[in-house]
Each structure stands twice: as C-alpha cells, then as structure tokens.
Structure 1
C-alpha cells in the first residue's frame, strides 16, 4: 500500500501466505466461523494479509472509507480528536489481554474494523493505527459488500458488533457530554460570579475604612453641631434615603453638577469633596438642592456636616453594592441548581422555558456577541419528564446554533402550544445546513463540523432524548440565514399514549 498523505504511514505491502494456512486462520475467526467450504474458498482467494509496523495508520478520521480490515495478529488502537484532544476510544487485540475487557465488548469486536462507514456511505469516524507489529486483511469496499451478499454468516456476527459499537459510542459521547456540560457549567458560573464576587470583595475591603471614617466624622459633627443643626442634618439624610438614582439623565449635566458640588465643598473646607460630590450627583441631585437642605447649618459646623455626609453616602453606597451582589449570586446558584436539577427526582413536572433560560445563563459567556430573542407564548403548561436531560438538548442546540453563526448573529428561541404538543424552536442566522446533508444530521457519527470539532453524536443523542425518553420529535429545516431545530413534546408527559410526531411525516 502507498502513502495516502504526507505523514500518514500505510500498512506495508501484502505478504505471500500459504493458502491452506490462511484458510484455516480464517476459519478460526468468529466472523468467518459459520462459512461453508465454498465460501471459505472464495474468501481465501480475495484475502491478502499485510504487515503493519507499530504506529502505522490504517485510516484516519474523516478519510473516505475504502476498506474493511480484519485483524489476524497484533493489535489496533482506535483514537479520535475531540475539541483538540486525542482520545483513545478502544483497543483491539488478536489475542486476549488480561484486564483489557470493558463495557461488555464482544470478543468478535476485536477482530475487525471499518465496517460502519462502508455501510453508511460516509467517511471513517475514527483513526486506527497498529499497536506493535500487526497483521491485517484489507478488503476493498466492493469485496466487503460482496462478502455480505455471499456469506450470510458474516452479517450474523458483524451486525450485533455494529450495534454494540454504536451503543458504546453513545455511552462514551453521553459521558463526554456530561463532562463538557459540567465544564460549561463551571466556566459559565465562574464568569457570571466574577462581577458580583468582585463587588463583594471590594465592598468588604472598603467597608472597614468607611465605617472608621463614619465613626470619626460622626464624633466631629456631633461636637460641632447644635440641636437645630443636627435636626436639619437628619432631615437631609432622610431626604437622601427617598431619593433614587435617575433612570435616565444627561451625562454632561450630571458631570457639571458634580463639579459644582465639589468646588463648593472645597471652598467651605470639606476634607473629602470628591466623595461628597459623587454621592450626591449619583442620586440626580444638584448643588442648589444640597445647599437648601443645609441652610440651617452654620458656617463653623458646615465642614464637619459635609465630611459626615460624605462618610454616610460612601457607607451606604458600599452596602448597596453588597445588597445588589448578594441576590445576584443567589440567582446564579439557583439557575445552576435548576440547570443541573440537583437533589430532585429524575422524572418531574417542570417548565420548559425555565430550563431554556437557565441554559442561556450557563452559556452567557459564549453568547456575548449574539442577540438573543425570546418568544414564549403566555401561559405555557408545565410538562412531566426529565428536565436535566432536556437541558442537555437545549445546550446542544444552542451551542450548535452559535457555532453555525461564527459566534455572532441572532439566536431565536420560540415556545408555543400546537395541538397536544409543546413546541420549541431554536433558530439561528448562520450559514445553514446543506440540503443534501439535512436528512442525515441525526444519524450517529454524522457531522458537518471539521474533523476534531465534533463526535457526530450530539444531535443523535438529543434526538434520542426527545424521541425515546419524552415521546416527542426533533426535526430541522434550513436555508442560509434561517436554520430552525424544532422540538415537539407531548403535553401529557412521557407516560402519555400520544406521540408528538413531525407534521406531515
């Protein structure tokens, strides 16, 4: 065999075996054990063993599928690059290796590879390389298909192995999706917690100094002020409590007010004029308002009044930061709990839109340049099912939509009731899915992403969660600029006899 591409070493050329020995070797393999003498004679005539040195590649992930391989001696390692990391999916051995059995892998599964893409008209879904000196039989696609037609015993062994491989890959993908979801959860939570946590840390650090200043200025003000002045100051503080920051305001006018208050405070001898000016102007108040409320404070006591007022405003601003940050942290923790459905029964009543919103919270960092449009019909009913699993569906659909848009565009989330179904649509303005590939996107291992950027199982797992676990349907339609993934879920829940099918299907 010749090199397929630079850096890819293919198996060495065929060796010349003794045909009698080869025939007996084929008979000893489980996949060929049921063949008749005539079938074995034909198979021997089309079999050409080849030797691969350690590390030589039989085929790479994404390559066009051209051969079916049978392992005679040595071993094979099956790998796949997922998100830039090469993962070992499994190993095949010609002879039993103690401690290497896992996931109830059938013994026959060790002895052949490459059948799936030949049957599905796709590319190879993993990379397979020799582990040690290895001998294989490489059957071209045409010979493999003729083998299935001529030798029914081959299919009897191959199909159960194929089913196991798909199931095992789904389990691996589900576990990987769980880990990725936890990573998304952790990254999203860390990103969202950063601002309120930083605000808490900053306010806590500054609050000690502010309280000390509040105590000192209170003492100075108490010593400088008379009863009427203290009463006037109390009325000023009460008026400030009722003042709320303006919803909208002219930034230039506010800056002018801040400068006026600061200049006046400097003129009358205040020690912290900038803090005072910032606190008063942030409430939308100006110098005239402040002077009107301090008209009963004498000239000698005015600096102490302004210093104490600055300390009051600073302390209140810091406590306001803490009050705002605390609920935000609580909201994030609640969203995380609801997203993961911790400490809840597996099947329960839940709000679909709450799950979607919690998913958006977890993916907020990835949605930074995406316009999110929510269109939820009012009064949507609650469903009975598995919300944590559906959250994985929403995560997958939203994540795919963002990828299709290159990280920026419009993401539409629509929810409504149609007949006996709750319908959720995830729409994006990305490049779209080619018409010829659209019917295959829910197939296992089928992906339109570049090699190494997807497993080809995300949409397949989402399809199974929706259709098998929730008796619903998942469909897609796409044109450039408008791709819609539509999920239909029965209002009666998973136990309901009705199934939400795709209209017209």
Structure 2
C-alpha cells in the first residue's frame, strides 16, 4: 500500500484515519482516537541506508512503519547486533516506553535504519504519552508498574544469580586451596624436624672416629641416593611391600637398629640391596647404621621439599586459573583460546566434579583464537557445566568437546543425565524457567548464557537432548563481521 500525502503543500505530510485503520496497531481505535493520530502524526520518509533514529539519543518519537523495510540494531561495546528486520506494516519502535514517567526522556535502546526507501508515521513521544494515558488509564498504570517492576526484579535476581555463582565458586576454590596449603604446612613442620635430626646425626658422625676419606665416601653415597630419588620407579603396593621386606632383612642381618623405619624411605627412593652392599663396603660396620640414617634423613628432606614444591605449584595453578577465569587485568574483549576458559572453569568447579563425575575431553587444539569477551564466556561454561552436573545428580560422564563448524567454533557440553523432555526444550532459555526444585535455581542461568552467546557474541546456543545424552552446543563466530 502506498502512503499518499493528505496535507497542503509545505505542511507536514499526514495520513488519514482510513489509512491508519488498516494498521493492526490502530484497527480497534474509535474515530476520535484515529482523528487525533491523523492530526498529530506526521509521515517521515527515509531513503535506503538512512537512519531513522540512533541508539542512545533521547527517545523523542514513536514510529509506526507504513511502507518499506527497516532493520533494528543494538550496539554492544564496539559491536552492533541485528535484532530484527521487518516489512510488516504497523510494526512499531522508538519511544515505546514513553508512558513511563521519568525525570528525563529514556534513550532509544537500539538504532533503526531503512533497508529500502521507507515511510513511517512519527508521533511526538511527550504528546502521545499524555494522550495514551488518557485513553487507557488503567492499562497504562498496569504497564508502567510492570515495566518498573520487571526491570527492578530482573536486576535484583540477575545480581543474586551472579552472587550465588560467585559464592559457589569461592567455596570450591577455598576447598581446593585448603588441601595443598595444609599439606605444605605439614611438610614444612616435618622438614624442620628432619633438618634438626640431620644436624645431630652429622655431629655424631663427625666425632673424630670416622676418618675423612670415609666421610667423603659417605657423602658420595648420599648424593647418589638423592640422584636416584629423582628417577625412582613407581611400584605397586605388593612390589613396595616385598622390596621393604627385603631391605629390612638386609638391615637386620647387619644389626642396624630399627631397620624397618629406614626401609620405607630407601625403597621410595628406588634403592635396593645392591646399593646397600656398596654402602657397607664404603663405611665401617660401626658407623653403618648412623650413616644410613643420615642418608635417610637427607632423602626424607628431599621428598618433603618435593612435596612442598608440588603443593605450592598446585596453589599457584589454582590462583592462575582463578585469575584467568575472572579475567583480572585484561581487556574485556580480546582474541581468546576457548580451551583456556574451559580449563580454568573446570579447575574452579573441581570440588563439584569429584568423585562421581568422569570428565571426557575431546578438544580440537588446532582451533584459532576468536574475538570474544572471555570473562562472560567463562560464565557460560560455568552455567552449562553446573547444569550438567546437577542433571546427572553428581554421577555420570561429563563431555567437553570443541570443533570447527563452518565459520564458527563449536563448544559442546554433554552429560549422561535423564535428558530434557522435548516439550520443555523450547522453554529452557526463557527467563525464570527452571526445572529445579524451589530454592535451587532462579531460572536465569540459561537465559543469561543465551544472551551472552547470542547478543554479545552473535553466536548460537541450542540443546540436543535424549535420555543419557544431553548436549548444549555453543557456536561462536571465528571473525568479527
């Protein structure tokens, strides 16, 4: 339908009530209301590619599409996301919340641009807001309350969801840090005792009864034992028991006091009776027990130092994972490797994944880095992995898969839980929808994840589910467009 001017030359272009009545938005209005719209609305034309209004500017006009095609886009950071493209007559946009009384005009929440030559009915937001509140007072009160209430509740619940997630991660991280920290404290205390024992044993060996050459040979034996510790083979429990019995018999035959105490450390260091025979040949029998105990103290200190190195390394790795997960000191948008975020998320959720969850990783390490907001993607991985673990009741197989899918990177989180019923699969990304018991979920986790993937990254999030095989698939574009 072509819009024709009904105003004198030089006056704003208008449309008559009969034309307005053909628009679904106004078809139920009476003649007086249509007459008001015809008198106060003006036709504004835009050439293809021309902006109708721009996001962030004060929302001063309510627009209704009369003819042509328009597109609406929303700017997020340095990127624009297409929201809708339509040719439907009567489609409306612009100052759609003009009925909300605010100290200053609300800004346009998006931008609109003409795709083809287009004609739109423009209504002054302030005038239209007053009139529509007069026409439909009760409806406007309800809509105003709904708008304000929903905005407030969404902000509060979304904040609560983030805080709950942060609390769970903090509890898990604290648990993960506590174990290696406690182990390091215990090892340090024991190490202090072993150093003290070494000093006393060295003093007894150096009492003048042991000649310098023998002490040098004993030191060489000590260094050899430390070197062999670094490459000691891993023995089974039965092999360890047999080796300790063999060394204990050797020590008992040479009347070394409490030989069974030394045997466990010597076996752990990969030492055997052949090595003990060489020690016996190098050290007088009267100093054999003291010499072996001194070597054993040395081995124990090395083992404790290795334990401290391992535990502090685990602490450092956990802190590094937490830093990567939170993206501290990093630009919000950057080229990222999705595997780094998945790895740090699995570390952060480690306490929830043990002991009943088996993790299977099928990762394509050849995937390129992609432009993304890594901190927000980590929130998506957290939500999907937590949902998978909860769906399995804490027991089952969690599969993390990455692959290239055309011009996108595919990240798939799978679980062996009971699955999502077909009739619910279309609803699970809706805000506040949840299948969890009351008090265990807000219904915003998947909604937040969907908005992060679809709106912030122009990607896609979907689910494929059958009993024993549920897969949430995230597709992220390889390049900015």
- TM-score bracket, normalised by the shorter chain, equals 0.5 to 0.7
- Report the Cα distance in structure 2 between the residues aligned to 1:469 and 1:160, rounded to whole angstroms: 28
The answer to whether the 8 A contact 1:472-1:488 is kept is: yes
Deviation at 1:163, TM superposition (A): 4.4
User: 1:232 aligns to what?
Assistant: 217
C-alpha deviations, 1:104-139, integer Å up to 9, x for none?
xx789xxxxxxxxxxxxxxxxxxxxxxxxxxxxxxx
* Residue 198 (str. 1) matches residue 182 (str. 2): yes
SS in 1 for 2:204: helix
Whether the 8 Å CA contact 2:403–2:409 is kept in 1: the answer is yes
* Cα distance change on mapping 1:336 and 1:282 into 2, 3 Å: same
Distance in 2 between residues matched to 1:211 and 1:248, nearest whole Å = 26
Shift, 1:297, TM fit: 1.1
2:158 corresponds to 1:171: no
Deviations 1:269-319 (A, max 9, x none): 545634421211012322232222331211122122122112212222221
- Report deviation, 1:393: 0.8
Question: In the alignment, which of 192, 196, 199 is matched to residue 215 of structure 1?
Answer: 199
The separation in 2 between residues aligned to 1:184 and 1:391, in whole angstroms, is 14
Check the 8 A contact 1:478/1:484 in 2, yes or no.
yes
TM-score (norm. length: structure 1): 0.65
Match of 1:395 in 2: 382
Q: Which residue of the partner structure matches residue 236 of structure 2?
A: 250
Alignment of 1:487-502 (within 5 A): 487-492=474-479, 496-497=480-481
For residues 372-419 of structure 1, the C-alpha deviation after alignment (integer angstroms, 9 at most, x for no partner) is: 111111222122221111111111101111111111001111111112
| Aligned mate of 1:441, from 385, 409, 428 | 428
SS in 2 for 1:295: helix
**Secondary structure in 1 aligned to 2:331?**
coil
The Cα of 1:160 is off from its aligned counterpart by: 5.2
Select the residue among 143, 154, 165 that pairs with 1:181. 165
Deviation of 1:164 after TM superposition, in Å, equals: 4.2
Residue aligning to 1:365 = 351
Contact 2:325–2:378 under 8 Å retained in 1: yes
* Cα distance change, pair 169–490 in 1 and its aligned pair in 2 (3 A): farther
Mapped contact 2:169–2:348 kept (Cα < 8 A): yes
Change (3 A) 1:488 1:170: farther
RMSD, aligned CA: 2.5
* Contact persistence 2:226–2:299 (CA under 8 A): no
| Residue in structure 1 matched with residue 437 of structure 2 by the alignment | 450
Unaligned 5+ residue runs, structure 2?
Answer: 1-28, 31-99, 103-134
> Structure 1 residues 274, 161: closer, same or farther in 2, change over 3 A?
farther
The CA deviation at 1:445 is 1.3
Aligned-partner Cα distance in 2 for 1:330–1:240: 30
Match of 2:452 among 441, 465, 487: 465
TM value normalised by structure 2 = 0.68
SS of equivalent to 2:225: helix
Cα displacement (A) at 1:229:
1.9
Distance between the aligned counterparts of 1:474 and 1:195, measured in 2?
A: 36
Please say which of residues 376-385 and 254-263 is displaced more in the overlay. Answer: 254-263
**Alpha-carbon spacing, 1:459–1:163, altered in 2? closer, same or farther (3 Å):** farther
1:430 to 417, 420, 424: 417
Look up the match of 2:226.
241
SS at match of 1:439: coil
Contiguous gaps of at least 5 residues in structure 1: 1-34, 37-105, 109-150, 498-505
Higher relative contact order (CA 8 A, sep 6+): 1
Does residue 332 (structure 1) correspond to residue 301 (structure 2)? The answer is: no
Distance of aligned partners of 1:270 and 1:168 in 2 relative to their CA distance in 1, 3 Å threshold: farther
CA contact (8 A) 1:279 1:313 kept: yes
Q: 1:406 aligns with which of 371, 379, 393?
A: 393
Which has more radius of gyration? 2
The answer on 1:306 being equivalent to 2:288 is no
d(CA) in 2 for partners of 1:247 and 1:457? 51
CA shift at 1:227, angstroms?
Answer: 3.0
Relative distance call for 1:197 and 1:472 in structure 2 (3 A) is same
